[in-house]
Amino acid sequence: MAVFLSVLRIIGIVLLCILGLILLMILCVLFVPFRYRVDAGKEESLRARARVHWLLYFVIVDLLYDDGINMRLRILGIPFYDKKKKEAKAARKREKEEARRKKKGEKDNDAAAENAAESGTEEAAGDGIEEEKAAENTAGQAAADKPEEKPAESTEAAEEESADEGGEKEKKPHIPLGKRIEAAWDAFTDFLWELPDKADEGIDGLLEKAEALKDKVSELWDTVDYYQRLLGSDGTAWVIEYVKKRILKILKGIRPRKIRAYLEIRDDDPGQVAKFWQYYAMALPVLDHIPGRVELDAQQDEKSFRFKAMVKGRVFVITLVKNGLALLLNRKVKRFIKLLKREDEQGKE
C-alpha cells in the first residue's frame, strides 16, 4: 500500500510540474511582449528585413527581401526553418533524380544500339538490293509523271483572255433613271408600311427600360429603408462607438514605438525639388506626432532616389486577447450581429 501511494505521489508531482510549465508558458505568451523591427533601404536595389522575436530572442522569425523573399525560424539559436535552404535542397534532389534518369536512359540506348548493330549486319545485303530496285522504280515514275511544258505563246494568250474577262466584269450595268425612281418609291412605301411595327417595338423598349429603372429605384429605396431600420434601432449608436473604441485600443497596442527615416532625393529640375520641400513642410504637423524623426534631403543634381527606414515596436498578446474577447462576448454586440443577420435574411427573401 505504501508503494502504491508513493507511486501516486510521484505521478501527481509530475502532473503538477507539467501543468505548472503549461501555465507558465501561457502567462509568458500573454504578458511578455513580441517585439518587432523592420529595416528597409534602397540604393541600387531594394532590401528589407522584418524580425519578430520573443522572450529575449528565445524565438526569432526573420522575413528577408533581397531579390527574393526568404523566411527563417530559429528557436534558442537553432535553425528550424529556412525557405531558401529548403528550396535549394529540393532543387539538388531534382537534379540528382534527373541525372539518374539520364544515366539510365543512356544505358538503355547503348543496349538498343548494340542489338540493332547485330541485327543490321544480317539484313544489310538484302536491304541494299531492295533500295536499288526502289530507286529505279521512283525514277521511272517521276519521268512518267512529269508534265509537258506548254509554249510561251499559249500562256500569253490565256493571260490576255483573262484580262479581257476581268475588264468586262468590272463594268457596272447602266440603270435607267425611271427604274431608279421606281426603286426609291418602293423603298419609301416599304418604310411607311413598316413604320407602325417599328414604333411599337420602340415603345416596348421604352416600357422595358422604364420597368428596369423602376426596379432599380425600388431596390435603392429598400436599401435606404434597411439602413434606416438598422441605424434607428435601440443601442446601435452605442455598439458602433464601443466597437470603434475597442479597435482603436487594438491599433494602439500594435503601433510602432520608434520610427526613423531618411530620404535622399536628387532631381535636375529645381521646380521639382521645391515641390518635394513643399510637401515635406506640409507633412510636418503630422510628422511631429510620430515617435521618431523623418529627414529629407532634396537637392538639384542628377536624378536619384535613396532611403533608409527603421520601425520598432512591441505587441502584448494580452491586449489583443482582452479587446477581442470583449468584442465577441459583449451582449449588445451579439444582439447587433443577430439583427444584421436577420435583416440580411429578410432582404434575401
pLDDT digits (tens, 9 = 90+) for 223-264: 666 666 666 666 788 888 899 999 999 999 899 999 999 999
Cα distance between residue 205 and residue 199, in whole Å:
10
Cα distance between residue 265 and residue 306, in whole Å:
7
Could you tell me which residues come within 8 angstroms of residue 106 by beta carbon, excluding any fewer than 6 positions away?
none
Q: In 3D, which of 10, 12, 34, 21 has the Cα closest to residue 254? A: 34
DSSP H helices in the chain: 2-31, 83-145, 152-170, 177-232, 236-254, 270-287, 317-329, 331-348
Contact (CB, 8 A) for 320 and 253:
yes
Report the pLDDT value the prediction gives residue 146, as an integer from 0 to 100.
Answer: 47
Instruction: State how far Cα 118 lies from the chain centre.
Output: 59
Report the pLDDT value the prediction gives residue 151, as an integer from 0 to 100.
Answer: 44
Residues forming a β-bridge with 261 = 294, 309
195-212 mean pLDDT: 77
pLDDT digits (tens, 9 = 90+) for 96-116: 998 888 888 877 777 777 777
Residues in the chain: 349
How much of the chain exceeds pLDDT 70, in percent? Answer: 73
84-101 mean pLDDT: 89
Q: In 3D, which of 212, 312, 301 has the Cα closest to residue 255? A: 312
How much of the chain exceeds pLDDT 90, in percent? Answer: 33
Q: Is the pLDDT of residue 209 over 90?
A: no
Locus of grid cell 443577430: 338
pLDDT digits (tens, 9 = 90+) for 112-159: 777 776 666 555 445 555 555 555 555 555 544 544 444 444 444 445
Report the pLDDT value the prediction gives residue 163, as an integer from 0 to 100.
Answer: 47
Q: In 3D, which of 42, 84, 91, 88 has the Cα closest to residue 63? A: 84
Cα distance between residue 199 and residue 7, in whole Å:
101
